[in-house]
């Protein structure tokens, strides 16, 4: 199955570079390019790519707001956004995840890593390694703003699913969750998938956000 990919970046050389990498992959199809966030939103509505590579800092409309508009629009909510950032733990990464982004990669990532990231996101997984998740949590703990979600939002979960969600929120992988709760990795994955479904979370990255914003997990906890 061919993965349809769009790219948005305000730097022509960067935009062309990512577009070229995507175009040369046999299993990917480049379906459009945009140089600002507003154009990215229009492009998403026009071509509805499977994955949108989105820069954060762009004119007219930044990548975070563009992501929010794309993921909240019924016509484009299935588009999975992969944020491209210049710095590890860019100050906007957490905001991008809250806006509905599924993953992020550094702009200096190698071609093969970029292509693999696109495939991972297209397959429905989030591109957040446990170590990255933990660093994002550290960033979250330094952010005073934001109103926590009502913890009653977790009432739809079983006790076991709440345990699993808490461990996802702490950055544990399925293997680590399985070891902690004395279950098989396959069972741990099943619990994660069910939790995502019940909470309408797009992927693992969104579960981390929910775990913190409901107070199930607290910074340093």
Three-state secondary structure call for residue 86: coil
How many whole angstroms separate alpha carbon 112 and alpha carbon 103? 16
DSSP string, 87-145: STT-TTHHHHHHTT--EEEETT--HHHHHHHHHHHHTT--B--HHHHHHHHHHHHT---
Domains of the chain by start residue, with CATH: 3-127 (3.40.50.2300), 140-213 (1.10.10.10)
State the pLDDT at residue 107.
Answer: 83
Over the stretch 115-144, which tens digit does the pLDDT of each residue have? Answer: 988 998 888 766 655 555 556 656 655 555
State the pLDDT at residue 182.
Answer: 95
- Contact partners, residue 132, CB within 8 Å, separation at least 6: none
Residue 20 has pLDDT above 50, yes or no: yes
pTM of model > 0.85: no
Q: What is the rounded average pLDDT for all residues in the chain? A: 84
Over the stretch 80-120, which tens digit does the pLDDT of each residue have? Answer: 999 887 765 556 667 777 788 887 787 888 899 899 889 98
pLDDT band at 170 (very low <50, low <70, confident <90, very high): confident
Helix axes 111-122 and 12-23, enclosed angle (nearest 10): 70
pLDDT band at 23 (very low <50, low <70, confident <90, very high): very high
In the chain, count of helices (H) and strands (E)?
10, 5
Residue 45 CA from chain centroid, whole number:
19
How many whole angstroms separate alpha carbon 36 and alpha carbon 216? 37
């Amino acid at each position: 199955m061919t993965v349809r990919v769009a790219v948005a970046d305000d730097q022509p050389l960067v935009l062309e570079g990512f577009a070229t990498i995507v175009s040369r992959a046999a299993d990917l199809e480049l379906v459009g390019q945009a140089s600002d966030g507003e154009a990215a939103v229009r492009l998403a509505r026009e071509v509805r790519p499977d994955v949108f590579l989105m820069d954060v800092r762009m004119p007219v409309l930044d990548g975070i707001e563009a992501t929010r508009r794309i993921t909240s629009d019924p016509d484009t909510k299935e588009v999975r956004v992969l944020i491209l950032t210049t710095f590890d733990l860019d100050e906007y990464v957490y905001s991008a995840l809250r806006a509905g982004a599924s993953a992020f990669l550094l702009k200096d990532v190698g071609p093969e890593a970029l292509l693999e990231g696109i495939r991972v996101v297209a397959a429905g997984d989030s591109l957040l390694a446990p170590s990255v998740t933990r660093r994002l949590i550290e960033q979250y703990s330094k952010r005073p703003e934001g109103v926590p979600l009502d913890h009653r939002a977790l009432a739809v979960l079983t006790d076991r699913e709440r345990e699993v969600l808490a461990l996802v929120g702490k950055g544990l992988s399925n293997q680590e969750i399985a070891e902690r709760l004395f279950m098989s990795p396959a069972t741990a994955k099943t619990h994660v998938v069910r939790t995502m479904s019940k909470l309408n979370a797009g992927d693992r990255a969104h579960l981390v956000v929910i775990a913190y914003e409901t107070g199930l997990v607290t910074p340093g906890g």
